[in-house]
Amino acid sequence: MLSSARYFKLSPQGKPSFRERFAPPVYFYFLVFIMLAFALILQYLFTVSDAFGIFGVKWSVPGHISQFVEEWPQKTGLGQYPSSFTRGIEPKPIHSHNDYWQKVPLYLGISVGAVSTEADVYARDGDLLVAHEETAISPNRTFRSLYVNPIVDLLERQNPTTKYANNTRCGVFDELCSQTLYLWVDLKTGAEETWPLVAAQLEPLRKRNWLTKWDGETIIPGPVTVIGTGNSNWDVLIVNQTRPRDYFVDAPLLSFGTDSEKKHPDGTPLYDHTSSPFATTSLMEAVGNIKGAGLSSEQLQKVEGWVQTAKDRGIQVRFWETPNWSTKKRHNVWRQLMDIPVGLLGADDLEDAAFGDW
């Protein structure tokens, strides 16, 4: 009897009342609360999934507008238009560093909005082979196959010949027709033997009038801007070239304003906006080792100074050899560079640069 009294309030007769005998235990209310909360969360997930197609599942009932939107392109055949290949891609000032290392060279960079790409080339057997080191050379990975031909394909898609348009000069991004694609050609072999091959292999772009050029008086923008770097030099690419010249050369940023800077006979700097859209250097060489989680205030001032020096000449800046690891340091440096801002952000991890939370 005493043990029973611990669990039931006894009536005057010593027995539990009817109400108390059938009252649910306390944990029952807790279970009800959990079930209701779970039902609300499940309903929220169904709603979000229906709206955004998460996991590829649509929870809408027949006749709902989401079903109409899902089925409209296939039913009407109106979902595509002539230049929709790169529809919805926002161009971003990202440079695909060593782009040929990407899983899909060129196209992956374009797919995330990178406006700049890079090909390292070796002159071998009368052709240009793309590789970072000689050990990586393959006869089928050529400048034509990885870059020139795909760029022609992209631009033909973005500049279709139709009843309403012909001979247009839109760039690769449907969202911004005027955005040029910077094509950096990093010469791994000597400029004298290699650049003539580059210039010749650009002919498919040249004959379609798709190259940015300098006519001796002004720069005429085009869908593709070719910049020689690596072993490229002023003497081979710029001096005594016929007009219009449809390629440019990378300028040595750290020589600007120094005694070692090359100049014309009249004392003006050799490199200006007519020869070089960009000046580049290694970030490590420009500011030294980055010891903390990002650029120190002193290092940041150096970077800002170089950027301003180039800007005064109408030249943009791109730094290479930026940190890849740790991710925190990489993100911090990216943010610091783009806050200045630099002209292009060099990146190996394109998806992180384009969509990462930094």
What would the mean pLDDT of 241-253 be, rounded to a whole number? 91
Residue that the structure tokens 């992180």 belong to? 352
Q: What is the pTM of this model?
A: 0.81
**Is residue 21 scored above 60 in pLDDT?**
no
The set of residues, in sequence order, having a beta carbon less than 8 Å from that of 121 and lying 6+ positions away, is 128, 129, 130, 143, 185, 186, 187, 188, 189, 194, 198
Going by pLDDT thresholds of 50, 70 and 90, the confidence category of residue 56 is low
C-alpha–C-alpha distance, residues 74 and 187, integer Å? 47
**Element spanning 306, H or E:** helix 297-311
> Of 59 and 126, which is predicted with more confidence?
126
Residue 182 bridge partners (DSSP): 116, 225
In the chain, CATH 3.20.20 sits at: 84-355
Q: What is the mean pLDDT of the chain?
A: 89
Fold classified for 84-355:
TIM Barrel (3.20.20)
Q: Write down the pLDDT at residue 53.
A: 57
DSSP class per residue in 115-165: EEEEEEEEEETTEEEE-SSGGG--TT-BHIIIIIHHHHHHHHHHS---SS-
pLDDT digits (tens, 9 = 90+) for 143-178: 999 999 999 999 999 999 888 888 889 999 999 999
C-alpha–C-alpha distance, residues 313 and 122, integer Å? 32
Pairing mode, strands 219-220 and 213-214: antiparallel
- Choose among 184, 128, 112, 141: nearest CA to 354: 112
Buried b (16+ CB within 10 A) or exposed e, 298-324: ebbeebeebbebbeebebbbbbbebbe
Lookup: tokens for 136: 């990586």
C-alpha–C-alpha distance, residues 338 and 334, integer Å? 6
Residue 143 bridge partners (DSSP): none
**Is residue 28 scored above 80 in pLDDT?**
no
